[in-house]
Amino acid sequence: MKRPTIIDIARAVGVSKAAVSYALNGRGGVSQETRDRILDVAADMGWRASSAARALSSDRAATVGVVLARSPEVLRTEPFFMQVVAGLEQTLSAHGFSLQLALASDPGTELETYRQWWAERRVDGVLLTDLRVDDPRPALLRELRIPAVFFGTERPMAGIPVLWVDEHDIADSAIGHLTDLGHNRIGHVQGPGQLRHTARRERELRRAAAERTGVTLLRDHGDYTEGGGVAATARLLDTARPPTAIIYDNDVMAVASVARAAELGVRVPADVSVLAWDDSMLCRVVHPAITAFSHDVGAAAARAALMLLELIETGVADDSRLQPRELITRESTAVAPVFG
């Protein structure tokens, strides 16, 4: 019970290998009648193209690669990446492409993975997230001419299509929500400093704060982990004039801080309001439930996949803008406390 090849089909139908190939790929060069016969026989035999043979002769792997470049701890706790993977895979498989996945705990490993994938022609293109400060990846991708799409970052990026997110409106929405509740000292627990959108968010929050009178922004660095978020929160609160509201760059830091509010010596939202930049089940089940920006990551990943497929197919793809996030108001944000 060997797997059938186009030679078997050609013999059965009584035509050449080439005719079979043309028919199966829907190209010209075969009459409608023989084409139908070929397709019938192929289906009967349960024929499917060998991916290796097709890749070798057509120089197309029909595969897209993604490197997940975060620590195992962050990967485990953040639902974000699984949503990315799910959104990508569904779009790719609908177009006959496969998804190849790798982890990288450090930037060197990630770069090496791209080099290797491309040298071995394992992938036709890659999808990237989390543009960093002095990020070496765009230059490498351009140098090797690897088709690539950057997901969830700023635009433009020379030579690489970007699915970008407008932090401007989100920052307005966050600051607006809190100032409407009377907060004017607002903390910001940031993500890792090496991520570009960390700086971007800070800039936009500053701008949004500056556009209102009397609003002070106090920032501290977190690292997207529980421990980092709690530590930054403790530092913000342990000052002469602590903030009455804190914006967290992700859900994990916000949730960990709310879960340990008592230890930190505050009540949420009576003493401090909390707002998370990402939403997830975590934000819903913690008490009080956390006001958060929701965001259909799966749909965004699907869009990014389409951009990448277009880039692979045609050599070009336009930048595209993500849907703005939506503020889900829950119990963690309330009117600012009045001091004597």
Partner DNA sequence: CTGAAAGCGCTTACAG
**Measured from the CB atom, is 28 or 340 closer to DNA?**
28
Q: Map the footprint of DNA across residues 51-110, applying CB under 7 A.
A: 53-54, 56-59
- In degrees, rounded to 5, the angle at the alpha carbon of residue 95 between the alpha carbons of residues 298 and 62 is 105
**Contact string (CB under 8 A) for a copy of itself, positions 43-62, x = contact:** ---xxxxxxxx-xx----x-
Residue 160 interacting entry, from a copy of itself, DNA, none, C-beta within 5 to 8 Å by type: none
Can residue 120 be called a binding residue for a copy of itself (CB under 8 A)?
Answer: yes
d(CA 93, CA 80): 20
d(CA 171, CA 197): 12
Whether the upstream peptide bond of residue 147 has omega within 30° of 0, thus cis, is no
**Measured from the CB atom, is 17 or 321 closer to a copy of itself?**
17
Given candidates 11, 50, 210, 329, which one binds DNA under the rule CB under 7 A?
A: 50
User: Of the candidates 91, 69, 157, which has an alpha carbon nearest to the alpha carbon of residue 301?
Assistant: 91
Please name the helix (run of DSSP H) or strand (run of DSSP E) that holds residue 325, with its range, or none.
none
CB of 14 to DNA, least distance (A): 7
Can residue 312 be called a binding residue for DNA (CB under 7 A)?
Answer: no
Can residue 39 be called a binding residue for a copy of itself (CB under 8 A)?
Answer: no
CA separation, residue 233 to residues 158, 187, 211, 263, 284 (Å): 37, 9, 25, 11, 20
Given candidates 3, 267, 287, 321, which one binds DNA under the rule CB under 7 A?
A: 3
CB of 7 to DNA, least distance (A): 7
Please name the helix (run of DSSP H) or strand (run of DSSP E) that holds residue 321, with its range, or none.
strand 320-321
User: Of the candidates 289, 112, 275, which has an alpha carbon nearest to the alpha carbon of residue 183?
Assistant: 275
**Contact string (CB under 8 A) for a copy of itself, positions 62-91, x = contact:** -x----x---x--xxx-x-xxx-xx--xx-
d(CA 290, CA 284): 6
203: tokens are 């800039």
CA separation, residue 117 to residues 58, 63, 81, 101, 251 (Å): 17, 10, 21, 11, 33
Q: Map the footprint of DNA across residues 13-42, applying CB under 7 A.
A: 15-19, 21-22, 24-25, 27-32, 34
Q: Where are the alpha helices (DSSP H) in 51-106?
A: 51-58, 72-77, 80-94
Residue 7 interacting entry, from a copy of itself, DNA, none, C-beta within 5 to 8 Å by type: DNA
Binding site for DNA (CB under 7 A): 2-3, 5-7, 15-19, 21-22, 24-25, 27-32, 34, 47-50, 53-54, 56-59
Binding site for a copy of itself (CB under 8 A): 3, 46-53, 55-56, 61, 63, 68, 72, 75-77, 79, 81-83, 85-86, 89-90, 93, 98-103, 116, 119-122, 226, 252, 255-256, 258-259, 280-282, 284-287, 289, 298
